[in-house]
Structure 1
Amino acid sequence: MKKTRKYLFFGIILLSISSFNNISNYKGEKILIDIGDSLTVGAGGEGTTMSNVTLKLLQGKWIVKNRGVGGENTLTIGARQGGIPMYIKDTIILPANGEIVEIPSGIYSSYNDKKIHPLIQGEGGLNPCYIDGIECTLSRNSKTEKYYIKRNRRSFESYTVKPKTNIITQLSLEKDGIATIFIGQNGGYENPQDLLNQINLFIKHKGDENVIIITSHGNGDSKTIEPIKKKYGKKLIDLKKYMSNKAIYDAISLKLLPDNVSYPTESDINAMKKNNAPPSLLYDGIHLNKIGYELLGRLRYKKGQELGYW
């Protein structure tokens, strides 16, 4: 009997350790950084975003930074975040006087040496950036689509940047707190495993697994999310599943939509039958409307509670 109790005691300890590893109380800096594309920005939400909804629920006790930039794929977002650095292919000279310099060949991803296109719809924490420790500003001419770089402080001598030198962004230095990684809608990956590999690099760069991962309702099908779910488990929000099954009913329950026969509409029901988001929660085919973003912000807040982040 004593041996049985002894084994039971150690079994409980092992279960407790296992549970702690999966979900533990977060005690670090109260900073939440949202990294992604236009869905993170809140395009279509008329000022309502996932970030500001969660901030309100956190009662202003956290710093919430929206680092979304519209139109960016996973590689471009990874370049800003720092997990997949971008580099300059050319040899260029940063003049001592701070004069702006063209980058002839553009910007490339260290992941697959393909061109990426930052700064099309915003910075999202890219600048100031650093080349071999020199603080710079990266810019883009929207008409010519050419990229330029300039050092932010004058020096006594010019500096030669060697080929394939990485550009280190300001966002890549911001590793404290909780990061929400909301990527994938605009492509940038070859297959589900490739997407997981890139997410792994985001998290490796951050230095810890204090993250929430969100897959898009637009292209986050079961095959795409399965490797991510297997690796990160409860840290994942399957937005497609939520939007196509539960979101419209949460909107009614929260009185964001009227509780009458008007909702869900016939169009909503037909969309959900096809595993798609209901039109009543969308601004267009992909972007959410203010109700959709309200639900997303609440969903992310609930996930943070489940993970013990706040």
Structure 2
Amino acid sequence: MSDIESLQAYGGQLAEAAESATASAKKQHEYVNGDASTDVHTESGSVPSLAKQAVQGQEKVAAVLTEVASQLAGAATYDTTELGLLKTVDGGYFSTPSPAKKGYLISWRNTAGKAVYQDTYPNVTAIEEIGIEDQSSEVSGLAFAVVDDAGRRTWLESGVDGRPSVHAAEKIGEVLTAENAPALADGVTEKAIAGSLDAVGIEQLPELNDLAFAVVDDAGRRTWLESGIDGRPSAHAAEKIGEVLTAENAPALADGVAAKAIADSLDAVGIEQLSELNDCLSFSVVDEDGRRTWLEADREGKPTKRAMDAIVEGLPADVGQAPSTYQSGVKGVLNIVSGIRINGFGDSMTAGAGGGGTTYTGELQRLLTAAGHSIPVVNRGVGGENSVTICARAGGNPFIVLPVAGVIPATTTAFEITLQAINGYVPKPLMQGPSSYTGRLGQVPGTFSRTVVDNVYTYYFTRAKAGAEIVANRPLPMYLDIGDQARGDINIIWIGQNGPNDVRAIQDANAIIQRMTALDKRYLVISKPGGTSANDADDALWFAEFGRRFIPIRQYMVKYGLADAGIEPTAQDLIDMANGTVPTSLRSDSVHWLAAGYTILANIIFQRLKELEWI
């Protein structure tokens, strides 16, 4: 608990006492002034008024005396039990003086020559105190005490000095917390604790008749049980409370609060009394020596510049085992961002089919270089792949593999594997593009490859180094190195044209994004290039998921593609555009684009990177 919290806790204690005093005033009036038939209803049950207690006390005294008389009828009193046994017959009763301070007689029965204890009878002093529980030396000397109808002590007690008793102080300290005592706020000083509470806004009452409620002892001396007409503790009550509260009986005040912290305000605990800090900090943690740590928040709840500087200073060279960069953002906000390189994950559109060697990744690289950015752009497009396969290749949902022989051999010989379905769809990798990838099967590094015979694809894995044979009769994940290498990068995801459907393609895109390691994951998602206006609803699903990071490229190309390329629309182009299809003049076939189309996409991506302040 911080020192401010401790002080706030003590303030809450006073608020609690104030509320209690207001409620107690009425109860106390009934308690003191009620007649012999009045019961005062409290949280622990009904408590008889003082008048009623007096009547009940008299009745108890009479009952006790009657019982004493009946027990002692015909029974003589002797100085010792030995003498009593000598003077009585078997079955007879006798008594001896009680050695107890509040005892009168002890009753015995002569049973076969042995003194058998019967009861102890109180003296006048004890009888006068009937209704108040047996009191130890700790509570002797009380000027006032309230008990419930079972004789159990409450917290309402005062010593003869007018201060709360030890018992009362303990009970008050047990319930005081930062939540229920908010009055102890900034600026409480030693005077508020050890002197009076004038410093925290409890005014000095000029006249005793300004009190709404006060308890005095039988000598007319004021106790600490007082309430002002505003329902708050009087200055006298506050002073008496402050004198008995300690770290022991009020544990909410204990943590980190020392006498010097109170006497010298907050300087002693390391939070300087500077307007600069007061204005900018809403929270700060200091160590036991009062030194500020990096755990600080400004008035808006954000890390302070000092906190951010400490974070940057302690950050490693990479995060999550993938490279990341550190970049100071606007207003000093720290971002741990993607950005070692830009990867284009996708199918034949990413690979640049129909572009005559022009790809959007190549054009994007040219734009970045011309603008002075050295970040590399890597094309990871493979024709023919659906979203499930691309996602597995990127490591979002890895390939699930089962060795045909049920083992990973000890040698570096290729062994056949089968690819299992990933949530209902079996991926189909290595159909175009590379014929192998490096990666790891389970925890075994190696190479993933395939052969094709009569259009039948057979997949293999070859471990990189010989080792012990591993039983592998259950499916294992297989991650490719190209996916691991891209986790800290900016990733451009263009999937879904080859199926299986938009819902699954959105899920696969999200899986790729989730595996990215930067705290500020930077990515763009591009819509399917093919289709008509009927597919606008599909684009709406993607936008709902990715917002401004989604580029609906088909709709853009329909509206602006020809103008951006400087091409006059043909009759067929106009028909295409009316149908919501990318104009024929921008396509090499029904789906793939000519170079102009890929160049347009590169420009859109470049502008979006600038808009999002990633470059």
TM-score (norm 2): 0.42
Q: 1:301, CA displacement in angstroms?
A: 1.1
Distance 1:25 1:249 in 2: 38
1:177 to 489, 498, 515: 489
- Letter paired with 1:55: Q
- 1:287 corresponds in structure 2 to 592
Partner of 1:9: none
SS of the counterpart of 1:240? helix
Structure 1 residue aligned with 2:387: 74
2:356 to 38, 46, 58: 46
Contact 1:41 1:67 in 2 (8 A): yes
* Structure 2 counterpart of 1:10: none
- How far did residue 294 of structure 1 move? 1.1
Of 144-153 and 237-246, deviating more is 144-153
Higher strand share: 2
In the alignment, which residue of structure 2 is the partner of 1:264?
569
User: Cα offset for 1:161?
Assistant: 2.4
**Could you tell me how far apart the structure 1 residues matched to 2:423 and 2:493 are?**
18
Q: Show the 5 A alignment for 1:21-170.
A: 28-59=338-369, 61-90=374-403, 92-103=406-417, 106-112=418-424, 114-123=425-434, 127-143=437-453, 144-155=456-467, 157-170=468-481
Separation (CA, whole Å) in 2 of partners of 1:193 and 1:74: 10
Report the TM-score, using the length of structure 1 for normalisation.
Answer: 0.82
1:138-195: per-residue Cα shift (whole Å, max 9, x none)?
A: 111122311111112222x222324210111112212112100000100023xx4333
Distance in 1 (CA, whole Å) between partners of 2:613 and 2:335 is 4
Could you report, residue by residue, the CA deviation over 1:79-133 in whole angstroms, capped at 9, with x for unpaired residues?
A: 0011111111345323222111112xx3124332x32210000249x72110122
Is the 8 Å Cα contact of residues 38 and 68 (structure 1) preserved in structure 2?
Answer: yes
Matches within 5 A, 1:244-255: 244-252=558-566
Question: Is the 8 Å Cα contact of residues 76 and 109 (structure 1) preserved in structure 2?
Answer: no
Of structures 1 and 2, the one with the larger relative CO (CA 8 A, separation 6+) is: 1
SS in 2 for 1:268: helix
Tell me: CA distance 1:213–1:25, structure 2 relative to 1, closer, same or farther (3 Å): farther
SS of equivalent residue, structure 1 residue 292:
helix
Count of residues in correspondence between the two structures: 274
Structure 2 residue 526 is the aligned partner of structure 1 residue 196: no
Structure 1 or 2, whichever has the larger Rg, is: 2
* Alpha-carbon offset, residue 65 of structure 1: 0.8
Distance 1:25 1:285 in 2: 43
- Report the equivalent of 1:17: none
Paired-residue identity, %: 28
Following superposition, the deviation at residue 40 of structure 1 comes to 0.4
Question: Are 1:301 and 2:606 counterparts?
Answer: yes
Given that residues 343 and 378 in structure 2 are in contact (C-alpha distance below 8 angstroms), is that contact kept between their aligned partners in structure 1?
Answer: yes
Q: Which amino acid aligns with 2:362?
A: N
The one-letter code sitting in structure 1 at the alignment partner of 2:402 is K
- For the 8 Å contact 2:499–2:505, the answer to whether it is kept is no
Alpha-carbon distance in structure 1 between the residues aligned to 2:473 and 2:488: 31
- Using the alignment, how far apart are the partners of 1:57 and 1:301 within structure 2? 7
How far does residue 32 in structure 1 lie from its aligned partner after superposition?
0.1
CA RMSD for the aligned pairs? 2.3
